[in-house]
Structure 1
Amino acid sequence: MNIVKLSHDQPMPVTIFQIEGAIDVQSADDLVREATAAFGAGSRNMLLDMDKVTFLSSSGLRAIHQIFTMLRDETPEDADAAVFGGISAGTYKSPHLKLLKPSSDVQNVLKMSGFDMFLDIYQDHGQALASFQ
């Protein structure tokens, strides 16, 4: 897996991770490390560009969930009960982590695992960036 990190500052600062290859047991920790480093440097909004992701394993799902949790824990108004209740009701989407252009196979994995219930998935780069408010 290869990860390119980009920054976008308008309308909100967003760190974009362009991911290429498989997110699996051998590479998932690399994604978490990159996101954790960006978080440590002050990034609070992240977009995972999955256009070139060829495979997403359970380890990849774990990595995405770790990033979601790291960003959510930073926001005190996102109390656990409200978040989990909102996910169950279909009314909560992460304001800090979004996904861009997963392939149909990767999107099926995200849907089957329920990640589409709490993460917005975009096909348009501009719309994804504009969604951070």
Structure 2
Amino acid sequence: MGATVIASLLGGALSWWRERSQHKAKLKEIDQQAQINQRQARAEAAGKLDHQSRDNITWEDGYLILLFTLPLLLLFFAPLLTLIWPEAGQITQAVMSGFEALKATPVAYQGAIGLIFVYVFGFRRLLHRVLDNWAGWKKRGG
């Protein structure tokens, strides 16, 4: 009789432990799915904002595009210009000097320029992904 009571108690405890473990696993699965849904919703919202940004390009946006692409164009075309205008080689030096000067700017300024770039060119989804990865890295103790 004592053995049956002990077996019954052990069986009940084992059953309770199994149910508790299954419940915890289910809660974890629900939490993971909620995080996935939240990320998808943010990505979709950011994607919609990106499309709206591209659809509503203003002269200010055009100015920023020109500002960011002009040095690149100058670096590529200056060597070709030297074929017909020898002094054009100085353009490359001037552009590179500008990039060196940008390296000396405060990190906060560089970050602000990056945020303007993200906003104007519609890279919000990328920004969300970077922030999510950074938050996960910080959570892991990085």
The normalised TM-score by structure 2 is 0.23
TM-score by length of 1: 0.24
Q: Larger relative contact order (C-alpha < 8 A, sep ≥ 6)?
A: 2
Larger Rg: 2
